[in-house]
Structure 1
Amino acid sequence: MTTSRHSLHRTLSTRRRILCAALAAALPFGAQAARLDYDVSMRYMHSDNIVLQAANEISEDILSPQVRFDLTHDSSVLTTRLRGNVQYLDYMDDVYQDDTRGEFTGELEWTLLPERLTFYARDSLSEQSVDSLAAFTPGNQQKINVFEAGPTLMARFGETMRGVLDLRYTNSWAEETETFNSDRYSAAARLLRPLSTTDTLVFNLEAGQTEYDTISEFYNYKRYDAYVTYLSELSKLNLDVSAGYSRLKPEGADGTSSALFRGYAGWQVAPRSQLSARASYQFGDASQDLIQRVGAPGEPTDPGTPGGPGVGQPGDPNLQIIPDTFKQKRASMGYEFTGERLTLLAEPYVEQLRYLRDESFDADNSGISVSARYGLTARLSLTGVAQRYKREFTNIDRDDTDTILGTGLAMRFSRHWGAQVDYLHRKRNSSISSQDYVENVVALSVTFYR
C-alpha cells in the first residue's frame, strides 16, 4: 500500500510538472492571448436529509468557501483550456467529516515544431460514487482522475494528403476503488484526405494496451480499432462521423469483436438556436468515458451560475467505477438557445450498457436535463433546473428513478460582487424501498467575480 501511494504521488507530481513546464515555456510567446476568469464564493447550505435515507433523516448545515477558475490561452505555440473548482465543506453538525472537493477539466496542445510535432495533454478530475448502487451522499464519494498525454507527429504526402501518428499514455486513478487504477499505452496512425474545402476523410488505425495495478492477471487487455471518419464544417452544420470495427483481446482469454460507430451533428438552426445530436455504438470503460467528455465536440454551455447548491449528482450518475469494459449503445439530443435575456439548455438521452465480465451492472438508462437562466433585470436573474434519470438493471431486481428540481435568484451588485439564493429538491424512487429518499437543500452564497 505504501509503495502504491508513493507511486501515485510521483505520477501526479510528474504530470503537474509536464503541464507547468509547457505553460511556462509557451506563455512568453503569446501572453497577451491568455485570459483568466475566476470567482471566489462563500456559501451556506442547509440540507434536511444529508444522509439521503428513507427513514431516520438527519439535517445538516454546511459552510463552504469555493474558488472557480477558467483559463484560456491561444497563440501560435500554445492552445489550452483549463477549468476547475475547489471547495472546502465544513459540516457544522459533524454528520460527516469536513472535506475538500475539487473538479478539473483541461486540454493543452503545445507546438514544438510547426506542422511536424506537438505535445498534447488532457485531464479530468471529478467526484464519483464509491458504490453507484447507493445514494450519492458525502460519505459515498471519491475523487477520480484520468490523465492522458503524448506527442503527435505529422507529415505530408503529396499536395493534400497528411499523415498523423498519435502516441499516448493514460493514467487512471480512483481515491477509494483501487482496482480501477491502471496505465494505458496506445498508438494511432491516421491518414487525412481533404475532399473539398469543407469536407475531410480520415482513415484510422489504433492499438492500445491497458494494464491494471492490482488485478492485472484478470483484466489486462489489448484493443485494436480500424475505422473511417468523415468531417464536414459548413456554415450552419458540423458533422463528425466515425464507423469501423473494434476487437478486444484480454490476457489469457478469447477475444471479442464489435462494430464501431460514433457520430455528432451540430446544426445552427437560427442565430440564437443550436441543435445537436450524438450517437455511439462501441466498446468503452469508465476511464474512456471520463476523458472523452473533456474534448467532446459541440459540448453546450451550462447556463447555471456559480452560486448553485454544491450537493448534487456525480458527473455521470450511471458510471460504474470498475475495471470492466462494456458495450455501449447511446443516443442523445441537445438544444441550446441563447437570447438577450433567456438562456436555455435541454438534453435528453437513452443508453444501453452491457458489461463483458460482470453482468450485474448491465442497465438500460434514460434521462433528460433542462436548465435555464432568465434576466429579470440587468442585475437580477432567475435560474432553474429540472432533471429526471431512470436506470433499469437487467440482471438484478432493481430500478431507480431520480428527479431533481431547483431554482435560484442571482443578484449582481456590481461588476465584481454578487449574491444568490437557491432551492434544490431531490427525490429517488427505487424498487428497493430502503434506497428511496427525499432531500431539500437551501443555499445562500456571496461571490466575488474577477
Structure 2
Amino acid sequence: MDRSIGAGTLRRRLTVLLAGLLILAPLSTHAQLRISGNQSARFTDNAAKTPTNEQSDLESTTSLTAVYESDPGRCNATFSGTVGYSIWLDESFDNETNANMNLNSECELSPGFYWDLDNNLREVRQDSTQSDTPANRTRKNVFSTGPRYVWRLGTLDTVTFSSRYEDTEFEEPEETDSERYVGQVAWSHLFSPTLTGGVSGSYTSTELDTGAEVNVQTVRLTSSKQWATTSFSGSIGVSEIETEVGNVSQKSDGLVGQLELTRTLNPSTRWYIRASRELTDRTSDIDIQFGEFDFGFNESISVETTTVATGLTKSFSDQGNLNIEVFANQSDQLESDQLEEQVGLNLGYSRPITGRLSGNARLGYRYLTFEENQSDDATANVRVGLSYQASRELSFSGQLGHERKTSDVSSREYDESFVLISVGYRFR
C-alpha cells in the first residue's frame, strides 16, 4: 500500500487547519490571534556545508506566522505556525516551501467526555551523520485524534480512559510512514492538595507502510508534587516492544519513564531538568517532544531512546536574560544493536541597548558518536545580532554567525560563515 505524501498533500492539510482557526477566531470575543510577516536575506559562504569547493549563495525567505489561542470554554485550541518560501539566488538548492506548525485542541462533548485533536509539522534531518542543509531535511507531520473520558470517583480518585489514532507522514516518499492506535487506562489518587500518585497501562499498535508492525505494552507508576518553589512530575515503569517484519518477530523489554523537575531558585532564576526513556519506533513523536533529538533514519525500526536536558534561565536587573541548557541523547537501534549518542550545550544571552535597540548572542556545541562506523562528529556555532523595534508593528534584525564541524570522516567536515538581515511586520 503506497501511503507516501507529497508537498501538495501537506500544504492542503495545513491550509485546512489554518483556515479553520481563522474562521473560528471571530466566534470568540476573547480569542487571541496574532499574524505577522517576515522577509529575510541570508548570505552564506558555504551553502552546501562541504569541506572543499565551497560555494556562496544568497537565500531569500518570505514567511507568514500565525499564533492563535481560543477563549477558554467547552472547546479550546492553541495554534502556532509559520509558512515560508525560500529562493536560492545561485541555485545551490531548489526553491521550496518550508513550514513549522503546532495545533493542540480539545472539546468537552458532555460532562467528563472529551475529544482531542492535535497536529504537529516540523522539519527533521534525514541522516544524522550528514550536515543540516535543505538536501538533508524532510517534513514530518504527526496528526492524532481520539476520545478521552474522565471518570471521577469522589473527590480523591479519578480514572481516565483514552484512545487515539495517530498518523505520521513524511514529505519524502522514501521515508517510512505509519498509522498508530493507542489505548490507555490511568488511575490517579489525590493524597494531599499538593501530591498525587497513580498507575497507568497502555497498549500501542503501529503499522508501517512497509508492512512491518510494532506493538508496545507499558505499565507505569505516576506521581506529581508541588512545593512552594519546586514542581515535580514523573513516571517509571516497564515496557515491552515487539516488532514483526514478515514472518520474523523480535521482542525487547526494559525500564521506561519520564521526569520533569522545575525549581525557582530566586525571583530571577529558574532551573529545570527533563528526562525520558522510551521503547518506541522511529516514526513516533519523541523527536518533537525533545527538539535536540534525531532518530537518524536507517534500517532499524524499533528504538530505545534516552533523553536528558537540564538548564537555567536568569534575568538581570539591566533587563538582560541568560539561558543555558545542557543535553544528552542516546538512540539504541534494537534490531541492529547500533548506538548513536549525543551531548551538547546551548547558551543564549540578550539585553536591551536602548529603548528600541537590543543585542543578542548565542553559542551552541554538540558532540555525536556513531557506533556503526566508529566515528565522532563535533559541531560548534556562534552568532551575534541586533534587533530594532521601529514601531509596534515594524521591526528589523541582523545577525553574524559562524559554524564549524570536525569529524573522523573528512567528507563531513566544513566551515561556514553567514550574514542574515530581516524585516518583520505585525498585521494584528
TM-score normalised by length of structure 2: 0.91
Counterpart in 2 of 1:248? 241
User: What SS does the aligned partner of 1:139 have?
Assistant: helix
Q: How does 1:46-61 map to 2 (within 5 A)?
A: 46-61=43-58
Whole-Å separation in 1 of the counterparts to 2:310 and 2:90:
42
- Specify the SS of the correspondent of 1:32: coil
Query: Which of these residues, 223, 228, 252, is aligned with residue 216 of structure 2?
Result: 223
- SS of 1:378's equivalent in the other structure is coil
Name the counterpart of 2:296. Answer: 320
Aligned-partner Cα distance in 2 for 1:435–1:11: 31
Counterparts in 2 of 1:25 and 1:99: CA distance versus 1, 3 Å: closer
Following TM superposition, by how much is the alpha carbon of 1:159 offset from its aligned partner in structure 2, in angstroms?
Answer: 3.6
Which residue of structure 1 lines up, in the alignment, with residue 321 of structure 2? 343
Q: Is the 8 A contact 2:271 2:313 kept in 1?
A: yes
1:357 aligns with 2:335: yes
**Aligned mates of 1:58, 1:330 — CA distance in 2:** 36
Equivalent residue of 2:296, what SS?
A: coil
Write the distance in 2 (CA, Å) between the matches of 1:49 and 1:14: 34
1:437 alignment partner, one of 402, 414, 419 = 414
How far apart are the structure 1 equivalents of 2:233 and 2:97?
38
Q: Normalising to structure 1: TM-score of the pair?
A: 0.87
Q: Which residue of 2 aligns with 1:154?
A: 150
1:131 aligns with 2:127: yes
Cα displacement (A) at 1:17: 5.8
Q: C-alpha deviations, 1:371-428, integer Å up to 9, x for none?
A: 1211111110101110000011123121100111111100111111111111121111
- Pairwise CA RMSD: 2.6
Amino acid across the alignment from 1:195? F
Taking structure 1 as reference, are residues 356 and 392 closer, same or farther at Cα in structure 2, changes over 3 Å only?
Answer: same
User: Is the Cα contact below 8 Å between 2:243 and 2:302 reproduced in 1?
Assistant: no
What is the percentage of aligned positions where both structures have the same residue? Answer: 21
In the aligned structure 1, how far is the partner of 2:17 from the partner of 2:92?
39
Looking at structure 2, the residues matched to 438 and 193 of structure 1 have their Cα atoms a distance apart, in angstroms, of 55
Give the structure with the higher percent strand. Answer: 2
**Residues 84 and 104 of structure 1 are in contact (CA less than 8 Å); yes or no, is this contact kept in structure 2?**
yes
SS in 1 for 2:284: helix
Tell me the amino acid that sits aligned with residue 329 of structure 2.
Answer: E
**Aligned 8 A contact 1:186 1:209 in 2:** yes
The answer for the alignment partner of 1:308 in structure 2 is none
Whole-angstrom distance in 2 between the partners of 1:58 and 1:234: 55
Aligned to 2:257: 261
Pick from 381, 398, 416 the counterpart of residue 421 of structure 1: 398
Matches within 5 A, 1:279-318: 279-290=275-286, 293=289, 315-316=291-292, 318=294
| Structure 1 residues 23 and 42: CA distance shift in structure 2, 3 A | closer
Using the TM superposition, give the Cα deviation of residue 247 of structure 1 relative to its aligned residue in structure 2, in angstroms: 0.7
Matches within 5 A, 1:80-229: 80-114=77-111, 116-176=112-172, 178-213=174-209, 215-216=210-211, 219-229=212-222
Q: How many residues align?
A: 422
The structural deviation recorded for 1:321 is 3.6
CA apart distance, 1:233? 2.7
2:48 alignment partner, SS class? coil
CA distance in 2, matches of 1:279, 1:108: 25
The alignment partner of 1:180 has SS state of: coil
Partner Cα separation in structure 2 for residue 94 and residue 282 of structure 1: 41
